[in-house]
Amino acid sequence: MGLFGKKDIANEIDDLNIRIKILEQDLRDVPLFYDSIFYFLLFLSLAVACFYKYIIYALIPSTLTILIFLLKKLRISRIKSNIQYYKDSINKKNKEIDNNKEIEQYKEFLTKFRNNANARPPPPKTVFRNSFMLRTLDKLCGTYTSNPKALICKKCGFNNGLADDPKNTTYICASCGSTNKKANTGKEKTE
């Protein structure tokens, strides 16, 4: 990491996971801590009330007991909200990593196929790939790659659409730019 460079995202995710573990430990420890204070103040208020026989002297410890009880609830809710915040941050960082991977794939494509005029960029990832509607359509109609009329590229496996007779159809793949048939060199026998 340089002076103005960004911190590595993987390290940030590890830091967030460590913070989540610390908060989860605090979440387990908070009830014990506050309960011990709560019961001590409750005992103190009862002892003061019995010793002095006046309720006015027991109001201070009993008020503190109620405050400790409420502080415990508040502390637990704050820890839970912090844990949720860190989990959301981790999800955001993971999405950023996925976006960076996709950008790197396009950079590789540009450097690899810069001289090839027929090359097309790979299709972007679809967000709703595993949606309920697509799975239902796949079950009803069959998947698009198993369809006998599908034009599947032999080089990259990209679906280039449907044709009535895919064996006799010549096409250029939209993803990698290759054709499905070899070029005609003129050496074939004609009848």
- pLDDT for 135-154, tens place per residue? 676 666 655 555 666 777 77
Number of structural domains in the chain:
2
- The three-class DSSP label of residue 131 is coil
pTM of the full predicted structure?
0.40
Given a cut of 60, whether residue 186 has pLDDT beyond it is: no
Kindly state whether residues 83 and 16 are assigned to the same domain: yes
24-49 b/e with 16+ CB inside 10 Å = b? eebeeebeeebeebbeebbebbeebb
Q: How confident is the model at residue 97 (pLDDT cuts 50, 70, 90)?
A: confident
Print the domain residue range for 18: 9-112
Kindly state whether residues 61 and 34 are assigned to the same domain: yes
Q: Does some domain include residue 191?
A: no
β-bridge mates for residue 150, sequence order: 162
Of 70, 89, 112, which residue sits at a domain end? 112
Kindly state whether residues 31 and 123 are assigned to the same domain: no
Instruction: Read off φ and ψ for residue 182, nearest 5 degrees.
Output: -75, 155
Q: Which residue has the higher pLDDT, 5 or 19?
A: 19
